[in-house]
Each structure stands twice: as C-alpha cells, then as structure tokens.
Structure 1
Amino acid sequence: MHYPKLLPAVVALGLLAGPAFAQETVVVVEDAAAAAPSFDEIGPYIMTTLLFCMAGFLVFFMAAGFAMLEGGLVRSKNVTMQMTKNIALYSVAAIMYWMIGFNLMYPGEFNGYVGGFFNTTVLDPVGVAAADAALDYASVGSDFFFQLVFVAATASIVSGALAERIKLWPFLAFVVLLTGVLYPISGSWQWGGGWLSEMGFSDFAGSTVVHSVGGWAALAGAIVLGPRLGKYAKDGRVTPMPGSNLALATLGTFILWLGWFGFNGGSQLAMGTVGDVSDVSRIFANTNMAASAGAVTALILTQIVYKKPDLTMVLNGALAGLVSITAEPLAPSLFGALWIGAVGGVIVVFTVPMLDKFKIDDVVGAVPVHLFAGIWGTIAVVFYNSDANLITQLIGIAAYGVFTFVASLVIWLIFRATVGIRVSEEAEMTGLDTAELGMEAYPEFSRG
C-alpha cells in the first residue's frame, strides 16, 4: 500500500539520522513514489468495484422485496412456505452460480456460446496489488456477486407465480437447474459475448435476459401445475383469492423499487469517469420515472375499468414500469421513461385478467409484470437506441422465449411424472404452512 501523506515525515526522520542516510532515504522514497500507480490508473478499478458492490447490495435486498410481496399476496395459510422458498432459492442460486453458472455464462475464451460445466468461480488473490488490479476493470469478487444477485431475482419470479400449490423440494430442484444451467446458457448469448450480442441485440439490464426468462419459466410451470383449487368455476367465473396482507405487499414493492436502482444503475458496468457517474445518475432518474408512471397509469385505469382503484394492480403497475425501462434506462429522456413505464402499467391491467381467461393461475401477477412488460421493454429499446433495430430485438425475444419455455416445460413435465410437483388436495386446502412445514406465519389468527 502507498501512503503519500507520510513521505515528508519519512524524509525528516532521514535528515535527523544524518546526511548520508537522508540522501538514501530520499532516493528510496522517490523510487517508491514513482512506482506507485496514480489514481488515474487505479481509480476506475476502485470505483467500478465499488459500484458493483453497492449495486449488488441493493439487488440482494430485492430478495426481501420478493419475499414480502409474495407473502402479502398469498393467503395467510401459505405465507411461511413463501418465506421458506425465497430464502432457500437465493441460497441455492448463490451456490449453483458459483459451482457452474458464472463461468458457464461468462466463458473465459468468449467463445460466444457456452463455457465449461463445473468450472467453479475463483476470486481475486488476497491483497491483490493495485498495479495488477488496474489491469482489469473490476475485482472478480464484485463482478461475481453483482451477476449472482441477478440470477437469484430470476428464480424469485417463478416462486410467486406458482405459490400455494407447489411442493417445496421439486421447486428447489427446478431452481438448481434454472440458476445453474438455463439462465447462464441463455445469458451468455447476450452478456457473455455470444451470438445475440454479436448480432446487435440490446438489453441494457435484463428486461429479456432476466425478467422474461423468469416469466417464461413461471408460465411453463403454471401451465403444468394447474390452477389452485376453486380458482376457476365450471361456468367460467373467476373466484377471487385475496392476499393476506396488502401492507406487506406494498412494503415488498417499495423494496423492489429501491433495489431496482442497483439493478439498472449497476448495469452501467463502469464508474471510473465523470461520464460514467453522470450516466448512473441518469439511469436512477429514468428508473424512478418509469416506476411512477406505471403505478399512476394502473391507478387511473383500474378506476376507469373497475370503478375503484385496485392496490394490487397499482403495485404491479409500478413493477411493470420498472421492468419496461430495464432494457434501456440510459438513453431515454425523462418523458421517454414516463411513457415507456406507462405502457407497462397498461399491459399489467389488461393482461392479468387475460391469463384468467386461459385459466392460467399466476398468484402474484409475475407473468404479466416480468414476461409481458419485459417483452415490451425490449421492443421499446428501438425508440431511443440508434444501434438497435426491431428485427434483431424480436429475434432475441423469440430466442429467449423458445429456449426457456421449452426447456422449463420439459423439466416441469419430467418432475410431474416422476416425483410429483403438486401437493395433495387436502394439503392445499389446509395450507402449505401446516401440511408441508408444520408451522404457521400467523398462528394466533384463524387461517384465510
């Protein structure tokens, strides 16, 4: 390490010791100062590593947001199961992304297709020299952590859609495959220097790479799993199944909103220049505007359509706005972010009931928010990014959709035919908290 402020004191000590020693001391100090890299050399490494760490902390906190949102939107008899699934899926994702995912997604040779299986991630050596560190744009540890929290968010999307009727262990087995294999392979196509990246596909922070992947996996699971008991009557009526705690769901939404600043801001992937820092702040402002527009749009639309505002739609409207701006949060003006987010709010209000018409039971609205709004956000890139074109964006959307949906569908069907993925009717009626876990989130209250 280097301590330039101490150099005068070192020289002074040398003078006290005598002229000869002082001369040798000055030479050593001057050599050390000359060898020390300047901040211009190591500053970008330090600042970008800091960006990854801070943004990673925020995206990690989104795990709490997903847990609170899901816990509030499921019935009280299933809350403990959602808490268990969310802490377990994050932990499984962390291990699988270290064991397989990171080096599968980011092949060292950048072959553009897929890296090596079981090529575990190795961190920077302890006390890495600043001069060596300056050769890379950020530490391996910060890069790995930042990418890890994204894959965990993808798994959380699946958790909410399949709530209240799926067994714990088959769900976690799917998370192993999603976070260790499926997400890293498809992610390498764009963020690992793969074929979509070379084609010119643009997805800044993951409207498609992250959110639609989670949405496609959730959609496949919901189709194979089937709806909750009593959700759809024979005459076509939809039976409302209100969540247990809308205050908790609202808290979860605000936490996700906060975490999204790290999600999009950190995806700048650099903070070593004035321009980079300015861009990060621009991304923050656009991200916030899109979320606000999505929420307000859903608020107004539900008043018009249902004659009363619907809080759950407003919450999902905010999230849809966030997903919509994620593919290009840097280039738009604030007005651009507003209308992109507003369209996301419209999408949610009209596609949530559309799924019910097909008797696809998505408990928290994950498919409309993450899949449909993710597709929209990826298309919207062409309005503000001159390097993107519609055909390439559609090819990317289709590639992720076909791969993730088909692979997930096959996995869910295999699980259903072998170990089973759905709890018994009795367990579902009793509630997964008691039937699967033997504990309740609200034991002092009657179950709803």
Structure 2
Amino acid sequence: IVSGAVSERIQFKGYLLYSVFITAFLYPVIGHWIWGQGWLAAKGFIDFAGSTVVHSVGGWAALAGALVLGPRIGRFPKHGARPIRGHSLTLAALGVFILWFGWYGFNPGSTVSGTDPRIAMIAVTTTLAAAAGAVSSMTFAWLRYKTPDVSLTLGGTIGGLVGITAGTANVSPLDSIIIGAIAGILYVLGVALLDKLRIDDPVGAVPAHAFCGAWGTLAVGLFSSTADAPGLFYGGGTGLLATQLLGVASVFVAAFGTMYLFFRVIDKTVGLRVSKEDELKGLDLVEHSTEAYADFNITASND
C-alpha cells in the first residue's frame, strides 16, 4: 500500500526500513488492539477483515510518506497539477482484477474456517461492493470530468473492495452495494482533494485505502444488521457508530503520527529521497543497476 504512494522518488534503503518498521512494530500493535483482544476489541469495535487494521493503517502510513517525500519532479507546476500518466492501463486493469480475485481469499478466508456458513454471503457482499465501486466511480468521474476515466474506475473498484472489508460479514447485499458505491465516489473525490493539496500519490493509495477504509469501518456502525451488533439503521442506536468512530480516529493518530515521525527520522539520518539527477534517470537504473525497458530514452518535455 505504502510503496505506491512513495514510488519513483524514494531510496531503496528507506523503502526497506519503513517496510520492516510497519511489519514488525506498527501493524502488530494495531492488530492487537482490534483482533488480539485489545482495548478496541473490548469496546466492541468491528473490523471483520481489515478495512482499518490493514488498509487504513497502510493508507495513513502512505499519506505520511508522501508528505515527507514531497511530489515527484514536474507533478505540481507553479499553478495547478500536471498528471504523470502510468505507462500501461492494461497492466493496471490486470492488477485490479488480480486483487479483486484475491479478495475472495481475503474476506471469506477471514472466517478461518472452510465450513463457516457465512462464507457464501461474504463472497456476495464482496462482489457487489466491488462492482458498485466500479460503476459509481466511473459514473461520477463521467459527470465531473466529462469522461468515464479508466484510471479512476479502477481505483474506485479497489475503493469498493476496501470499503466492504470491515463489514462484509455484518451487512446485507443491498447495503453492500450502498457501501461500495459511496466508496467509489469517495475515491474520486479523494484523488481530487490530494491534487488540490498538492500531495503526490501516484497510484491513489491514500484515497483507496485510507479514505475508503475509514468509510467502510464507519459504515459498519450504520449498516450492521446482525442481532448481536446492530447498526444505527437497524435499531442499534449510535453506540456502535461511536465505537467505530473512536477506532478510526485512534488508528489515524497512531498510524499517521508514528509513520510521519519515522519517515522524518529516516530523512534526517540515512536519507529518504533520491537526488534530482537520480530521479530523472530513473530508479531502476540508479538503485538497481538495471532498466525495466532497455530501449527507453530520456527526452526533454515541452512543459
């Protein structure tokens, strides 16, 4: 999750350091809070498969990294923003469908039992939310930008999957469509917000994982229809919603705050960002002494 937001300008040693830190320290602590009978679990916080534990943690860490690193060269001219397009939407689409397929292990697999009767319904809500995220993001982008943007549609699909992950075992199929559709729209708005704030996130990791993860977690407090933990719209009052809000806020403070400080420490000690010259040459060559596309040549931009 984090690697996409910091791509094309982070040193490889910085990448290794933050990867180890998140895996060894940050994720286990927050995972314990929610999945390890920690204080949020004791309050009744619900995150079935990781909208917060996995996705929001990664998304907030990605935001911290993008802020400390700053934007790629040429991404934000003096006025406005200049998109730096990915070289293959075909590969991007393939990646999204691989992720979608993998989500059937991620969400139904979180039952940790091959005989759990909830597995089929979890697969249904996962599918519907992803499809709703794809349709809503495409439609909203079409209305907002006058074109059904493929990149935003792909990101909205991921947003729908992230959004349903917390409540996939607790919500109805109809509600999963609503959750996924809102997540898709939220993704498009999130990308626009980062551009306005001049925060460079090459793959939209922050909108997809942080924003949609937070939304999906809060949505449990609205749409949960289980007898033991009903949400606001199912007669449960505001108790569960308040607990979900507390969890989202706590994880934001812990994940973003910790990683912002950690990225700052890396930046001031071993170094985080590559030099301007190295960034222009390309990190495949500079960091790994190889070329992804050997026949590519660096050319001057008219901009």
TM-score when normalising by structure 2: 0.92
AA paired with 1:405?
Answer: F
Question: In structure 2, how many angstroms separate the alpha carbons of the residues matched to 1:385 and 1:266?
Answer: 21
Shift of 1:402: 0.6
**2:39: which partner in 1?**
195
Of 1, 10, 14, the match for 1:166: 10
Distance 2:207 2:14 in 1: 24
What corresponds to 2:57 in structure 1? 213
How big is each residue's C-alpha offset from its partner over 1:301-347, in whole Å with a ceiling of 9 and x where there is no partner?
A: 11111111111100001000000000011232221111110000000
1:232 is the counterpart of 2:76: yes
* Counterparts of 1:353 and 1:423, CA distance in 2: 27
Cα deviations by residue, 1:256-306 (Å, 9 ceiling, x for unpaired): 00011111011112234xxx1x31011111101100000011111111111
1:447 CA drift (Å):
5.3
Aligned to 2:251: 400
For residues 350 and 164 of structure 1, the distance between their equivalents in structure 2, rounded to whole angstroms, comes to 24
Q: Which residue pairs with 2:99 in the alignment?
A: 256
1:327 and 2:166 matched: yes
Change (3 A) 1:158 1:268: same
Give 1:239 deviation, angstroms: 0.8
**2:109 aligned with 1:269, yes or no?**
no
| Matches of 2:192 and 2:289, distance apart in 1 | 34
Task: State the alpha-carbon separation in 2 of the partners of residues 402 and 240 from structure 1.
Answer: 30
Which one has a bigger Cα radius of gyration? Answer: 1
- In the alignment, the residues of structure 2 paired with residue 336 and residue 447 of structure 1 have an alpha-carbon distance, to the nearest angstrom, of 49
The structure with more helix, counted as a fraction of residues: 1
Report the counterpart of residue 122 of structure 2 in structure 1.
Answer: 283
Q: Extract structure 1 runs of 4+ deviating beyond 2 A.
A: 269-272, 444-448
Residue identity (%): 49
Q: Read off the aligned partner of 2:254 and give its amino acid letter.
A: F
Alignment of 1:378 with 2:217, yes or no, is: yes
CA contact (8 A) 2:172 2:225 kept: no
User: What secondary structure is seen at the aligned counterpart in 2 of 1:188?
Assistant: helix
In structure 2, distance between residues paired with 1:302 and 1:195 = 40
Q: Which has the higher contact order (CA 8 A, sep 6+)?
A: 2
The one-letter code matched in structure 2 to 1:288 is T
Q: Distance in 1 between matches of 2:53 and 2:135?
A: 27
SS in 1 for 2:293: coil
Please report the RMSD computed on the Cα atoms of aligned residues, expressed in angstroms. Answer: 1.2
Partner residue in 2 for 1:175: 19
Q: How many residues align?
A: 287
CA–CA separation in structure 1 for the residues paired with 2:49 and 2:113 = 13
* Cα distance in 2 for residues equivalent to 1:371 and 1:300: 22
Give unpaired runs (5+ residues) of structure 2.
232-239
Q: Residue 33 of structure 2 contacts residue 41 of structure 2 at CA under 8 Å; is this kept in 1?
A: yes
The correspondence for 1:222, drawn from 44, 59, 66, is 66
Distance 1:204 1:437 in 2: 39
Aligned match of 2:241: 390
Q: 3-state SS of the aligned residue for 1:178? A: helix
Give the C-alpha shift of residue 398 in structure 1: 1.1
